[in-house]
Copies of this chain bind each other. A is one copy, B any other.
Amino acid sequence: MQARLLATYRLAVPAAEAESRAAALTAEQSVEMPVEAIADARVRAEIVATVESIRPAGEAFEVTLGLAAATTGPEASQLANMLFGNCSLQPEVELLDVAFPAGYAAAFPGPAQGVAGLREMTGAAGRALTCTALKPQGSTVAHLAGLAGTFARAGVDLVKDDHGLANQAFSPFAARVPAVQRAIEAANRETGGRTLYAPTFSGGPAALAQQARIARDCGVRVALVAPMLVGLPVFEWLRRESGLALLAHPAFGGASRVAPALLLGTLFRLLGADATIFPNHGGRVSYPRETCLAVVQAARGDWESLPATLPVPAGGMSVARVPEMLADYGRDTMLLIGGGLLVAGDALAERSRDFVRAVREASS
C-alpha cells in the first residue's frame, strides 16, 4: 500500500447518492476515467483514490478519500490539482481538510523564518507584533514614503504595501520600493527601531524576479504575495529563490470552496509563508470566529519539522479590538490595522503609537 493523503470533502448530495458520488470522486480526483476500463491492476491498486469513510454531516456528507501521494508530484500545482482540480468545477463539492502522510511535508519548503524568524528580524521578543498598510493606491511615491516614515517612527513592526499597490504608473515598483525603504530606514535610525517593509509583489515570473532583485538591492527583507493571484507554485518558487520572508495575502483565494484553515493556514504554510493574513471575524469579511481560530491553529500548530507561520488577523480591525484579538489568538500573532489607522487623518502618528502601545500592553 502506497502512502495516501486523506482528503475530506463536503458533498451536498441526497443520501441515496452519497455512496455513488463518493465513488465517482475517487476517479475524478485521480485517473479521471472509468475505473473498470483500467486494465493495469497496479494502477487500480496504487493510483485510483479510495473511499476511506462517508459520514452524514447535517444536510450533507463528509467523505474522506485516500489520494495516492505518488500522484501529487510532490509539487504545489499538482497537489492542488489532485486535491481540488476537477471537483472544483462541481459546486456541490467543498474541500474541508487534508491529513498528509508522515514525512510528506519534507518535500515542500515550509516557512524560512516563521514566527521565530520574524521576531528576530523585528526585535519583537515576547509580545505580539504590529503591522499596517500603505494606502491608498493612486497616491504618489512621496506620499507613501511619508506614511511609511510615520508608521516606522511610531514603532509599527511591519509596514506592508496595500495589496492593491502593484506596479502601476502612479507608483511604479522600481521607484516606490527604494523610496519607502529609505524612509523606513531613516526612521529606524532616529528611533533605534527595526521596522520592516513588505512591498507587494505581482505579475509573472520575469516581473517577480525583477521585483525581488530591486527589493533585495535596497535592503528589503519581506515580500507581500497573494499566492492565489500569482499561482501556488510561484509562491513556492519565491520561497526557494527570492531570499525574502513571505507575507501571504488571501486575495482571490476566499471563494475557492477550500476551507480557509486549509488554504490560508496549512497549504500556504507548507509552501513557505512566514506569515499569513486572514480576514478576522467582525470585520469587512465575515469568517466566523471558529474559522479564524482554525486558521490560526493550522498556521502555527505542531507539524513535523515545519516552522510555525505567524497568523495575521486583518480586514477592518481597530485599535479598540487589540485586547480582544490578543486574548483570542495569543502573542504569537501579528495584528494588522490599515484603514483603522489612516482614518485618524492628522492624528495618524498618535493613532499609530496608540496601536503599538496597545499591542505591547496586551501581550507582554
Q: Which A residues form the contact surface with B (CB < 8 A)?
A: 24, 28, 30-34, 36-40, 42-43, 46-48, 68, 70-73, 75-78, 80-82, 84-86, 88-91, 133, 135-139, 143, 162-164, 166-170, 202-207, 226, 229-234, 236-237, 241, 250-258, 279, 284-287, 315, 338-339, 342-343, 345
- Please indicate the chain B residues that have their CB under 8 angstroms from the CB of A205 in the complex: 205, 233-234, 237
- Please indicate the chain B residues that have their CB under 8 angstroms from the CB of A137 in the complex: 30-32, 47, 71
- Asked whether B38 lies within 8 Å of A73 as measured between CB atoms, the reply is no
- Asked whether B46 lies within 8 Å of A138 as measured between CB atoms, the reply is yes
| Minimum C-beta distance from A237 to chain B (A) | 4
A-B contacts, 16 of them at CB < 8 A, read A24-B284, A30-B136, A33-B136, A34-B339, A38-B136, A39-B345, A47-B170, A70-B170, A71-B138, A77-B166, A80-B229, A80-B252, A86-B163, A86-B251, A89-B255, A233-B234
Cβ contact of A73, chosen from B136, B166, B236, cutoff 8 A: B166
Known contacts A40-B138, A234-B231, A279-B89; decide if A84 and B31 are in contact (CB<8 Å): no
Closest 10 CB pairs of A and B: A231-B231, A89-B254, A47-B138, A31-B136, A85-B251, A204-B237, A205-B205, A33-B339, A204-B233, A43-B138
- Please indicate the chain B residues that have their CB under 8 angstroms from the CB of A287 in the complex: 89
| Minimum C-beta distance from A49 to chain B (A) | 11
- Asked whether B226 lies within 8 Å of A77 as measured between CB atoms, the reply is yes
| Minimum C-beta distance from A35 to chain B (A) | 9
- Please indicate the chain B residues that have their CB under 8 angstroms from the CB of A47 in the complex: 136-138, 170
- Please indicate the chain B residues that have their CB under 8 angstroms from the CB of A72 in the complex: 168
- Asked whether A42 lies within 8 Å of B226 as measured between CB atoms, the reply is no
**Measured between alpha carbons, how far is A342 from B168 in the docked complex, in Å?**
49
- Asked whether A34 lies within 8 Å of B343 as measured between CB atoms, the reply is yes
- Asked whether B43 lies within 8 Å of A167 as measured between CB atoms, the reply is no
